[in-house]
Amino acid sequence: MIVRKVSVLLRFLCIARRGIGYDIRPVPAPFWIFGVFTVYLLSAGLDTGVAFATIIIYFALSYQGIKVVWWGNTVNSTTFDGKSVPWKRVAKGAFFGPGPGEF
């Protein structure tokens, strides 16, 4: 009975493998060349647009003396880390790590 189940499983795997091999057909080269070229141009265009927009926005705001204030610009100075507030304090007379002469 086990041999029968194994043979059915192997037959199914062979058919599945053969079916997958026939389902994936190579696509003609001109389509891929056109597709890759189009994606390359789209990516280059979007990157260039972001770069130009960043430069234009920077100079437009800096020449007018406008300062952009939002939580992303001030969060680093308003947290405990920015204010140098320690999480825990070392007791008086104790050391952080080995004391003098203990290393």
Of 9-13, 19-23, 38-42, least confident by mean pLDDT is 19-23
Residue 77 lies inside a defined structural domain of this protein: yes
29, HSE (Cβ side, Cα atoms, 13 Å): 0
What six digits make up the tokens of 50?
A: 């972001």
pTM of the model: 0.40
For residue 23, pLDDT over 50 is answered with: no
Per-residue confidence (pLDDT) for residue 53, from 0 to 100: 95
Residue 92 lies inside a defined structural domain of this protein: no
Residue 43 lies inside a defined structural domain of this protein: no
Residue 13 lies inside a defined structural domain of this protein: no
Q: Which residue has the higher pLDDT, 64 or 24?
A: 64
Q: Determine the structural domain holding residue 63 and report its residue range.
A: 50-83
Pick from 12, 28, 9: which is nearest to 20 by CA? 12
CA distance linking residue 27 with residue 99, whole number of Å: 71
Instruction: Tally the domains of the chain.
Output: 1
Tokens 């891929």 belong to 32
**Is residue 83 within 8 Å of 77, Cβ to Cβ?**
yes
